[in-house]
Amino acid sequence: MDEVFELGSKIREDFPILKRLVRGKPFVYLDSAATTQKPIQVIEAIKNYYEMFNANVHRGIYSIAEEATVAYEKAREKVAHFINARSPREIVFTRNATEAINLVMYSWGLSNVRRRDVLLTTEMEHHSNLLPWQTLSKLKGATLKFIGFNEDGFLKLEEFDKYKNKSVKLFAFTFASNVLGTINQVRELVKYAKKMGAVTIVDAAQAVPHMPVDVQQLDCDFMVFSGHKMLGPMGIGVLYGKERLLEEMKPFMVGGEMVKAVSFESSEWNDIPWKFEAGTPNVEGAIGLAAAIDYLQRLGMDTVRKHEVKLTEHALDALTRVDGITYYGPSSPEQRCGLISFNLKGIHPHDLAMFLDNEGIAIRAGHHCAMLLHNRLGITASARVSFYIYNIPSEIDLLVNNLEKIKKMLEI
């Protein structure tokens, strides 16, 4: 077996769910772009919190409250180190990437965007990085514009020329498309935005879990991602923001924990990042995310990336041998993240997913919260397979064998 593929085989024992049967068949999970499965190390870290030091943070002075606070803030430090932020003060915990984007929309956007300003995004965005900017443009009378993509799944960089002399306040774009798989050249896109004087926000939900990411090297102003897509629990997300911008922004929500002082007439906000974390935070989520980061760092993010490139290469080769398959996005596995969206002629993606589920194989089917992209491709839906560190080549082979069986059964 290729040494790169050994990773998936070695660590599968760490994932309890992969041992179960689905409809009497061995479980094959190919939907990690939606959410990843959790290793026992993450599950045990959360269990240990509830069994040993379950308490609210930043409030109690008794022992387990202090232990919980230390663990929560150490999680913030680990996130900062993982993406090479300058300081843990640049890390805000949210529920998910969607909430993080909305935080920027309300806390930065409402104060900085003016009538007739331009908000720029792309045609390959997840709804989470589209709907907030639609909302902001309507609230402020701004104009929302889009950078398109070509038939190979890459952004049309020449379209930036149209906005050279426009008042572009924001450029919001995805690091890696959750449909096309395209890995965008973030550093270059940030440079384009800076020339226009625009603030940048990067949706890195499909990137941070899969490859080394260095926010200082990329120089983006904001970046968001979700814990549940990188072995962590649901309900915990991250907003990275440059300290200068976070200091200037007003809180997204107000209430407990995010104030220094309160009078009958007014309040004084807490320091960053805590002024953005109103109420009781998701302590278990932060602790679980920290355990997930520990797990990924033990493997090494370069190793994680190599595994996915190799697996994607194997999958592209296998899928393209199936007559009637059309896949979307770059043809090179090095230029895409570990997912492939496709259609099989003669069968709707929803039906395809149902047939595969009967064989114990879980894939995604639909528009993947990217209707604009699907409309641009001239399709209403697609099937999507996505991989992570626990997937192995034999699972891809089983998928392809079942695609051939479905074709024969339906005579397509």
Q: What angle do CA 177, 178, 180 make, to 5 degrees?
A: 60
Q: What is the pLDDT of residue 299?
A: 97
Taking the C-alpha atoms of residue 238 and residue 288, their distance in angstroms, rounded to an integer, is 13
Question: Beta 118-122 vs 168-174: how paired, if at all?
Answer: parallel
pLDDT score at 164? 83
Topology of domain 44-297, CATH: Aspartate Aminotransferase; domain 2 (3.40.640)
Looking at residue 235, its pLDDT comes to: 98
pTM above 0.85, yes or no: yes
Output the pLDDT for position 78: 98
Q: What is the pLDDT along the chain (412 residues), one digit of tens a residue?
A: 566 667 878 899 999 999 999 999 999 999 999 999 999 999 999 999 999 999 999 989 999 999 999 999 999 999 999 999 999 999 999 999 999 999 999 999 999 999 999 999 999 999 999 999 999 999 999 999 999 999 999 999 999 999 987 889 999 999 999 999 999 999 999 999 999 999 999 999 999 999 999 999 999 999 999 999 999 999 999 999 999 999 999 998 999 989 999 999 999 999 999 999 999 999 999 999 999 999 999 999 999 999 999 999 999 999 999 999 999 999 999 999 999 999 999 999 999 999 999 999 999 999 999 999 999 999 999 999 999 999 999 999 999 999 999 999 998 8
In this structure, the number of other CB atoms found within 10 A of the CB of residue 325 comes to: 18
pLDDT value for 3:
65
- Within 8 A by CB and 6+ apart from 115, the residues are 140, 141, 142
The per-residue pLDDT for 4 is: 61
22, 144, 301, 369: which one is catalytic?
369
Dist CA 119 CA 114 (whole Å): 10
Please give the C-alpha separations between residue 91 and each of 12, 250, 386, in angstroms, as whole numbers: 31, 16, 28
Tell me the domain boundaries of the chain: 6-30+301-410, 44-297
Task: Give me the amino acid identity at 46.
Answer: I
Catalytic annotation present for 369:
yes
Count how many residues are written for the chain: 412
Q: How many Cβ atoms sit within 10 Å of the Cβ of residue 14?
A: 18
Give the torsion sign (CA, 145, 146, 147, 151): negative
DSSP state of 149: B
C-alpha separations of 327 from 19, 152, 378 in Å:
30, 10, 13
Closest CA to 339 of 38, 6, 7, 34: 34
Domain spanning 6-30+301-410 has what CATH number? 3.90.1150.10
> For the CA atoms of the chain, what is the radius of gyration?
22
Q: What is the predicted pLDDT for the residue at 222?
A: 99
Residue 166: per-residue pLDDT: 85
Q: How far apart are CA 26 and CA 8, in angstroms?
A: 16
Euclidean distance between CA atoms 118 and 110, whole angstroms: 14
* DSSP β-ladder status, 237-241 and 91-94: antiparallel
